[in-house]
């Protein structure tokens, strides 16, 4: 049921209990071995962007599991994701350009939560280097208060969630294949905000996972890796613009 503004409501408070339970395995996940998945990444390079208030350590298990499945995964190497800080997108453009040059092909962007919003912004700035964008539980659609992290975002940034820094656009669908992954079990982001409208992505995929579970639990990681392998870009998109 939608709220009085016509927007989907926040996840019910009781779902925060499931997220609290998932936060423990997320904290331990960097020290776990890779998850075995029924997937073949076919050597595709994947730049993994972490969620709000987390860094590359939070995506370590996901990246190890992508590597085991035949992908070539990369961390974002930008420290903690605190939001659209000055110079962040420019630094990621350089990171993306470096990976594409090293691999000799376009790169898949896999962004978790706020990382998916950043990935969409990158996709609208540097599409010639990107083969596919996948957002995991990212609140890119509709009212930007349809998640339980917006108050903290406003607290740690000089701009609010309602103020997109100049030159950044994550609302428009990037001109590359774009997948929005969402979950009805998400306790942080309203499912409709992560699913978005049909015009905002090329494909919407539902997984049965908590918000912290996308990269923090073995089952969540398995679902993400197998989903990505099942939706790889067409081979003709591999070449990069010189």
Q: How confident is the model at residue 52 (pLDDT cuts 50, 70, 90)?
A: very high
Instruction: Please say if the pLDDT value at position 225 is more than 80.
Output: yes
Q: Which CATH number do you get for residue 158? A: 3.40.50.1820
Among the residue ranges 15-19, 103-107, 186-190, the one predicted with the least confidence is 15-19
Of 2-6, 12-16, 84-88, 164-168, which one has max mean pLDDT? 84-88
Among the residue ranges 59-73, 108-122, 132-146, 161-175, the one predicted with the least confidence is 161-175
Residue 26 lies in a domain: no
Q: How confident is the model at residue 166 (pLDDT cuts 50, 70, 90)?
A: confident
110-119 per-position pLDDT tens digit: 999 999 999 9
Query: CA nearest 229: which of 37, 35, 36, 29?
Result: 37
Count of domains observed in the chain: 1
Contacts of 13 (CB under 8 A, 6+ apart): none
pLDDT at residue number 96: 97
Residue 65 and residue 34 in contact, taking contact as beta carbons nearer than 8 Å:
yes
Residue 17 lies in a domain: no
pLDDT at residue number 102: 97
User: For all residues of the chain together, what is the average pLDDT?
Assistant: 91
Q: What span, in angstroms and rounded, lies between the C-alpha atoms of 113 and 95?
A: 20
Residue 7 lies in a domain: no
Q: What is the span of the domain harbouring residue 157?
A: 41-232
Instruction: Please say if the pLDDT value at position 54 is more than 90.
Output: yes
Instruction: Please say if the pLDDT value at position 4 is more than 50.
Output: no
Residue 115 and residue 162 in contact, taking contact as beta carbons nearer than 8 Å:
no
pLDDT at residue number 239: 60
The CA-CA-CA angle for residues 182, 82, 158, to 5°, reads: 115
Residue 130 lies in a domain: yes
Residue 11 lies in a domain: no
Q: Which H, E and C letters describe the chain, residue by residue? A: CCCCCCCCCCCCCCHHHHHHHHHHHHHHHHHCCCCCCCCCCCCCEEEEECCCCCCHHHHHHHHHHHHHCCCEEECCCCCCCCCCCCCHHHHHHHHHHHHHHHHCCCEEEEEECHHHHHHHHHHCCCHHHEEEEEEECCCCCCCCCCECCHHHHHHHCCCCCCCCCCCCCCCCCCCCCEEEEECCCCCCECHHHHHCCHHHCCEEEECCCCCCHHHHCHHHHHHHHHHHHCCCCCHHHCCCCC
Residue 14 lies in a domain: no
Percentage of residues of the chain with pLDDT beyond 70: 94
Q: What is the mean pLDDT of residues 127-141?
A: 97
Residue 27 lies in a domain: no
Q: What span, in angstroms and rounded, lies between the C-alpha atoms of 27 and 99?
A: 28
**Exposure class string for 135-167: b at 16+ Cβ within 10 A, else e:** bbbbbbbbbbbbbbbbeebbeeeeeebeebeee
Residue 136 lies in a domain: yes
């Amino acid at each position: 049921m939608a709220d009085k503004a016509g927007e989907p409501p926040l996840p019910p408070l009781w779902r925060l209990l499931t997220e609290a339970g998932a936060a423990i395995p997320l904290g331990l996940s960097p020290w776990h071995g890779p998850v075995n998945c029924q997937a073949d990444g076919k050597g595709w390079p994947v730049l993994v962007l972490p969620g709000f208030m987390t860094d590359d350590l939070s995506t370590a298990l996901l990246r190890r599991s992508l590597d085991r499945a035949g992908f070539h995964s990369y961390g974002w190497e930008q420290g903690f994701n605190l939001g659209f800080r000055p110079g962040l997108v420019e630094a990621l453009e350089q990171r993306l350009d470096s990976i594409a040059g090293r691999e000799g092909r376009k790169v898949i962007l896999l962004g978790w939560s706020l990382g998916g919003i950043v990935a969409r912004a990158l996709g609208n700035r540097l599409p010639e280097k990107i083969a596919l964008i996948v957002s995991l539980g990212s609140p890119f659609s509709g009212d930007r208060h349809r998640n339980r992290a917006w108050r903290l975002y406003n607290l740690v940034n000089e701009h609010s969630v309602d103020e997109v820094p100049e030159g950044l656009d994550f609302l428009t669908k990037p001109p590359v294949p774009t997948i929005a992954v969402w979950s009805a079990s998400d306790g942080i982001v309203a499912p409709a905000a992560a699913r978005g409208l049909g015009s905002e992505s090329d494909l919407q995929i539902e997984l049965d996972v908590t918000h912290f579970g996308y990269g923090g639990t073995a089952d969540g990681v398995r679902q993400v890796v197998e989903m990505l392998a099942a939706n790889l870009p067409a081979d003709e998109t591999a070449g990069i613009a010189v």
